[in-house]
Structure 1
Amino acid sequence: MDSSSATFQISNEAVCFCWQSSVTRTSWTANNPGRRFRGCSFYGRPAACNYFSWVDPPPHPRYKAIINGLLRKADNKGNDEQKLRRMVKCYQIALGMLLLGVIIQKMWL
Protein backbone atom coordinates (compact mmCIF):
# COMPACT_ATOMS: atom_id res chain seq x y z
CA MET A 1 0.00 0.00 0.00
CA ASP A 2 1.52 3.35 -1.00
CA SER A 3 1.25 6.65 0.88
CA SER A 4 -1.28 8.09 -1.57
CA SER A 5 -3.88 5.41 -0.95
CA ALA A 6 -3.54 4.72 2.79
CA THR A 7 -5.89 6.55 5.13
CA PHE A 8 -6.40 5.98 8.82
CA GLN A 9 -9.64 7.09 10.44
CA ILE A 10 -10.00 8.07 14.07
CA SER A 11 -13.34 9.64 15.04
CA ASN A 12 -14.18 10.53 11.39
CA GLU A 13 -10.98 12.53 11.03
CA ALA A 14 -8.20 11.54 8.63
CA VAL A 15 -4.93 10.89 10.44
CA CYS A 16 -1.54 10.90 8.76
CA PHE A 17 1.30 8.43 9.34
CA CYS A 18 2.55 10.66 12.21
CA TRP A 19 -0.76 9.93 13.98
CA GLN A 20 -1.66 13.62 13.78
CA SER A 21 -4.85 15.02 12.27
CA SER A 22 -4.17 15.67 8.61
CA VAL A 23 -4.80 19.13 7.18
CA THR A 24 -6.93 20.02 4.16
CA ARG A 25 -5.15 22.30 1.72
CA THR A 26 -5.83 23.60 -1.79
CA SER A 27 -3.54 22.95 -4.72
CA TRP A 28 -2.79 25.86 -7.06
CA THR A 29 -0.56 23.97 -9.49
CA ALA A 30 -1.29 24.13 -13.22
CA ASN A 31 -2.40 20.47 -13.24
CA ASN A 32 -4.69 20.68 -10.18
CA PRO A 33 -5.86 24.28 -9.70
CA GLY A 34 -8.33 24.66 -6.86
CA ARG A 35 -8.29 20.94 -6.05
CA ARG A 36 -8.35 20.12 -2.34
CA PHE A 37 -6.17 17.48 -0.70
CA ARG A 38 -5.31 16.25 2.77
CA GLY A 39 -1.72 16.03 3.92
CA CYS A 40 0.52 15.76 6.94
CA SER A 41 0.10 18.67 9.35
CA PHE A 42 3.91 18.82 9.63
CA TYR A 43 4.34 19.41 5.87
CA GLY A 44 7.52 21.40 5.19
CA ARG A 45 9.15 20.37 8.46
CA PRO A 46 11.65 17.56 9.09
CA ALA A 47 9.04 15.64 11.14
CA ALA A 48 6.59 15.40 8.21
CA CYS A 49 5.53 12.05 6.84
CA ASN A 50 4.50 11.44 3.22
CA TYR A 51 0.75 11.25 3.84
CA PHE A 52 -1.25 12.61 0.92
CA SER A 53 -4.84 12.04 -0.20
CA TRP A 54 -7.02 13.91 -2.69
CA VAL A 55 -10.34 15.20 -1.31
CA ASP A 56 -11.75 16.31 -4.67
CA PRO A 57 -11.97 14.28 -7.87
CA PRO A 58 -9.71 15.28 -10.78
CA PRO A 59 -10.95 18.48 -12.42
CA HIS A 60 -12.39 18.53 -15.92
CA PRO A 61 -9.76 19.72 -18.46
CA ARG A 62 -11.92 22.76 -19.28
CA TYR A 63 -12.03 23.70 -15.59
CA LYS A 64 -8.22 23.59 -15.46
CA ALA A 65 -7.96 25.85 -18.52
CA ILE A 66 -10.45 28.37 -17.09
CA ILE A 67 -8.87 28.52 -13.61
CA ASN A 68 -5.32 28.77 -15.00
CA GLY A 69 -6.45 31.54 -17.37
CA LEU A 70 -8.05 33.46 -14.51
CA LEU A 71 -4.91 33.07 -12.39
CA ARG A 72 -2.74 34.41 -15.24
CA LYS A 73 -5.14 37.31 -15.74
CA ALA A 74 -5.04 38.12 -12.01
CA ASP A 75 -1.23 38.04 -12.05
CA ASN A 76 -1.13 40.36 -15.06
CA LYS A 77 -3.62 42.72 -13.44
CA GLY A 78 -1.40 42.91 -10.36
CA ASN A 79 1.58 43.73 -12.57
CA ASP A 80 -0.42 46.45 -14.38
CA GLU A 81 -1.36 48.02 -11.04
CA GLN A 82 2.28 48.02 -9.94
CA LYS A 83 3.33 49.67 -13.22
CA LEU A 84 0.63 52.31 -12.81
CA ARG A 85 1.71 53.06 -9.24
CA ARG A 86 5.34 53.44 -10.35
CA MET A 87 4.26 55.77 -13.15
CA VAL A 88 2.18 57.89 -10.76
CA LYS A 89 5.13 58.06 -8.36
CA CYS A 90 7.41 59.22 -11.21
CA TYR A 91 4.90 61.92 -12.18
CA GLN A 92 4.66 63.03 -8.56
CA ILE A 93 8.45 63.33 -8.34
CA ALA A 94 8.63 65.19 -11.67
CA LEU A 95 5.88 67.59 -10.60
CA GLY A 96 7.62 68.18 -7.26
CA MET A 97 10.90 68.94 -9.01
CA LEU A 98 9.12 71.33 -11.41
CA LEU A 99 7.46 73.18 -8.54
CA LEU A 100 10.75 73.33 -6.66
CA GLY A 101 12.41 74.80 -9.79
CA VAL A 102 9.67 77.42 -10.08
CA ILE A 103 10.03 78.37 -6.38
CA ILE A 104 13.82 78.63 -6.65
CA GLN A 105 13.53 80.71 -9.84
CA LYS A 106 11.10 83.14 -8.14
CA MET A 107 13.45 83.44 -5.16
CA TRP A 108 16.33 84.50 -7.46
CA LEU A 109 14.28 87.11 -9.32
Structure 2
Amino acid sequence: MVAICACGLPVSRRTSWTSENPGWKFVACKFYNHETRQRGCNTFEWIDEDILDWQRDVTNMLVAEKHRLATDNSILKFRIVCETYEKDRTVAELEKIRKKPFK
Protein backbone atom coordinates (compact mmCIF):
# COMPACT_ATOMS: atom_id res chain seq x y z
CA MET A 1 0.00 0.00 0.00
CA VAL A 2 1.30 3.44 -0.94
CA ALA A 3 1.40 6.01 1.85
CA ILE A 4 -0.46 9.23 1.15
CA CYS A 5 0.57 12.60 2.55
CA ALA A 6 -1.80 15.26 3.89
CA CYS A 7 -1.85 16.85 0.40
CA GLY A 8 -3.53 13.68 -0.88
CA LEU A 9 -0.55 12.56 -2.99
CA PRO A 10 1.69 9.51 -2.62
CA VAL A 11 4.72 10.30 -0.46
CA SER A 12 8.15 10.55 -2.01
CA ARG A 13 11.03 8.37 -0.80
CA ARG A 14 14.28 10.31 -0.56
CA THR A 15 17.78 10.25 0.89
CA SER A 16 19.15 12.92 3.20
CA TRP A 17 22.66 14.22 2.50
CA THR A 18 22.89 16.67 5.39
CA SER A 19 25.94 16.30 7.64
CA GLU A 20 23.63 15.42 10.56
CA ASN A 21 21.83 12.61 8.68
CA PRO A 22 24.02 11.53 5.75
CA GLY A 23 22.55 8.72 3.69
CA TRP A 24 19.40 8.39 5.80
CA LYS A 25 16.25 7.39 3.96
CA PHE A 26 12.95 9.15 4.62
CA VAL A 27 9.50 9.64 3.14
CA ALA A 28 7.99 13.09 2.79
CA CYS A 29 5.42 15.09 0.89
CA LYS A 30 6.24 15.22 -2.84
CA PHE A 31 6.31 19.00 -2.50
CA TYR A 32 9.26 18.78 -0.06
CA ASN A 33 12.11 21.05 -1.21
CA HIS A 34 15.44 19.73 0.09
CA GLU A 35 17.20 23.07 -0.42
CA THR A 36 14.78 25.19 1.60
CA ARG A 37 13.42 22.30 3.70
CA GLN A 38 9.92 23.61 2.98
CA ARG A 39 7.16 21.04 2.70
CA GLY A 40 3.76 21.09 1.05
CA CYS A 41 2.45 19.52 4.24
CA ASN A 42 4.01 18.15 7.41
CA THR A 43 4.21 14.56 6.20
CA PHE A 44 7.73 13.40 7.04
CA GLU A 45 9.07 10.15 8.48
CA TRP A 46 12.55 8.65 8.78
CA ILE A 47 12.77 5.12 7.40
CA ASP A 48 16.27 4.23 8.64
CA GLU A 49 17.21 3.51 12.20
CA ASP A 50 19.79 5.66 13.99
CA ILE A 51 23.34 5.27 12.76
CA LEU A 52 26.42 5.17 14.94
CA ASP A 53 28.69 8.19 15.29
CA TRP A 54 31.52 6.50 13.39
CA GLN A 55 29.16 5.69 10.50
CA ARG A 56 28.10 9.34 10.33
CA ASP A 57 31.74 10.47 10.45
CA VAL A 58 32.83 8.08 7.69
CA THR A 59 29.87 9.02 5.48
CA ASN A 60 30.54 12.75 5.94
CA MET A 61 34.23 12.20 5.18
CA LEU A 62 33.35 10.32 1.97
CA VAL A 63 30.87 13.01 0.89
CA ALA A 64 33.50 15.71 1.51
CA GLU A 65 36.05 13.71 -0.51
CA LYS A 66 33.54 13.35 -3.35
CA HIS A 67 33.06 17.14 -3.41
CA ARG A 68 36.83 17.72 -3.30
CA LEU A 69 37.36 15.36 -6.23
CA ALA A 70 34.57 17.04 -8.21
CA THR A 71 36.22 20.42 -7.58
CA ASP A 72 39.64 19.07 -8.62
CA ASN A 73 38.05 17.64 -11.76
CA SER A 74 36.49 21.01 -12.63
CA ILE A 75 39.83 22.76 -12.13
CA LEU A 76 41.61 20.25 -14.39
CA LYS A 77 38.95 20.65 -17.09
CA PHE A 78 39.38 24.43 -16.92
CA ARG A 79 43.16 24.07 -17.22
CA ILE A 80 42.72 21.90 -20.32
CA VAL A 81 40.46 24.51 -21.87
CA CYS A 82 43.01 27.24 -21.10
CA GLU A 83 45.91 25.19 -22.50
CA THR A 84 43.92 24.41 -25.65
CA TYR A 85 43.07 28.08 -26.12
CA GLU A 86 46.71 29.07 -25.61
CA LYS A 87 47.88 26.41 -28.09
CA ASP A 88 45.33 27.54 -30.70
CA ARG A 89 46.39 31.15 -30.21
CA THR A 90 50.06 30.24 -30.61
CA VAL A 91 49.37 28.27 -33.79
CA ALA A 92 47.41 31.23 -35.21
CA GLU A 93 50.30 33.60 -34.39
CA LEU A 94 52.78 31.28 -36.11
CA GLU A 95 50.59 31.11 -39.21
CA LYS A 96 50.50 34.91 -39.37
CA ILE A 97 54.29 35.06 -39.09
CA ARG A 98 54.73 32.43 -41.83
CA LYS A 99 52.45 34.32 -44.21
CA LYS A 100 54.33 37.62 -43.81
CA PRO A 101 56.82 38.26 -46.59
CA PHE A 102 60.48 38.74 -45.65
CA LYS A 103 61.92 42.21 -46.29
Q: Structure 1 length as normaliser, TM-score?
A: 0.78
1:100 is aligned to 92
CA contact (8 A) 2:29 2:39 kept: no
Look up the equivalent residue of 1:35 and give its one-letter code. Answer: W
RMSD: 1.9
The structure 2 residue matched to 1:14, chosen from 3, 25, 39, is 3
3-state DSSP of counterpart to 1:25: strand
1:62 to 50, 54, 66: 54
Q: Percent identity?
A: 26
Unaligned runs of 5+ in 2: none
Q: Name structure 1 gaps, 5 residues minimum.
A: 1-11
Counterpart for residue 42 of structure 1: 31
In 2 relative to 1, CA 85–103 (structure 1 residues): closer, same or farther, beyond 3 Å?
A: same
Displaced runs of 4+ in structure 1, greater than 6 A? none
Q: Which residue of 2 aligns with 1:71?
A: 63
Matched residue type, 1:16: C
Say whether 1:85 aligns with 2:49: no
The answer to whether the 8 A contact 2:14-2:27 is kept is yes
**Which has the larger share of strand?**
1
Report deviation, 1:47.
8.2
- 1:7 maps to none
C-alpha separation in 1, matches of 2:74 and 2:39: 39
TM-aligned CA deviation for residue 15 of structure 1: 2.8
Query: Normalising to structure 2: TM-score of the pair?
Result: 0.83
